[in-house]
Amino acid sequence: MRKLVVSLLFLVPGLVLAAGPGIPLDKANYDLTDKASLQRGAQLFMNYCLGCHQQQYQRYQRTFQDIGVPDELGQEYLQFTGEKVTDYITTAMPQEGAAKWFGAPPPDLTLVARVRGADWLYTYLRTFYVDESKTFGVNNKVFPNVGMPHVLQPLQGTPRETYEERMIDGEMKQVYVGLKAEGGKLSAEEYDQAILDLTNYLVYTGEPARLEAESIGRWVLVFIVVLGIFVYLTKKEYWRDVH
């Protein structure tokens, strides 16, 4: 019952925002065959997201195998609280406490890419900005009034809205032109790549068997085409002497 409630808390915001954000979404050119990107994305998730968000439908061992990380290295560098390699990826944060601190338990992120979409995630994680009127001191262009801190701010730096004066209808007006971050460990290009890696990882966990299914699907199509050729030739041979 608890899992059902948490799932509904996760899905409802997705339905509310189904009409789309107020800004255009950037294209997330992720690549599920890029194991290095998946490994970097997994590392970002474990270090910056798992403190609040879990992936209770995804096992560590399955993840390590799919992204090309030996179990021993995965346990050493991607597991921090003594879990077994066969355990699900869960957070140590108590759900009741999280509900008090954030207003609701942070949603499970196993299927977030399937619910929100890769482009939404990629744009959302890159559009936090300083807003002192909010509880956590930040807001988001894609998800206004978001109820979480900008946990990746040490990497990106402090993102602020930037404006410039433009002549509009004969008057000089302040026009929003974008976000600019300063003081982060990563450059703007490096941060974008890091977010693409994290998005890639979340797309993978949303459907771990996707690449395998696509491979099987291609072979099935080849089989159907070859079978169709033999069926057609058999039909011609069978009906050749029938008048």
Q: Are residues 68 and 165 in the same domain?
A: yes
pLDDT confidence tier of residue 55, bands split at 50, 70 and 90:
very high
Q: Which two tokens stand for residue 125?
A: 């994680």
117 lies in the same domain as 223: no
User: Does 139 or 167 have the greater pLDDT score?
Assistant: 139
Residues 231 and 170 in one domain: no
Same domain, 130 and 242: no
Q: Say if residue 158 is in the same domain as residue 240.
A: no
pLDDT digits (tens, 9 = 90+) for 171-216: 888 888 899 999 999 999 999 999 999 999 999 999 998 767 776 7
Structure confidence by residue, pLDDT tens digits, 92-136: 887 776 667 777 778 999 999 999 999 999 999 999 999 999 989
| 174 and 85 both lie in a single domain | yes
Q: What is the pTM for the complete model shown? A: 0.79
Domain match, 217 and 201 both: no
Cα 107 from chain centroid? 13
CB hemisphere CA count around 33 (13 angstroms): 4
Q: Which range marks the domain in which residue 15 is found? A: 2-208
Tell me the CATH number at 87.
Answer: 1.10.760.10
Nearest-Å Rg of the Cα atoms of the chain is 24
Residues 157 and 227 in one domain: no
Residues 242, 146 share a domain = no
My answer on whether 124 and 111 are in the same domain is: yes
d(CA 26, CA 45): 21
Residue that has been written with the tokens 């050119």 in this structure = 29
HSE toward the beta carbon, residue 152, CA cutoff 13 A: 25
d(CA 233, CA 101): 70
- Please give the tally of structural domains in the chain: 2
Q: What's the mean pLDDT when you consider all of the chain?
A: 86
Within 10 Å of residue 186's Cβ, how many Cβ atoms? 17
Backbone phi and psi for residue 211, each to the nearest 5 degrees, phi listed first: -65, -40
Q: Say yes or no to pLDDT of 230 above 70.
A: yes
Residues in the chain, overall count: 243
DSSP reduced 3-state for 81: coil
Is the domain of 202 the same as that of 230? no
**Angle at which helices 35-44 and 71-78 cross, to 10°:** 40
Please tell me whether residues 75 and 132 are part of one structural domain: yes
Q: What pLDDT band is residue 4 in, cutting at 50, 70 and 90?
A: very low
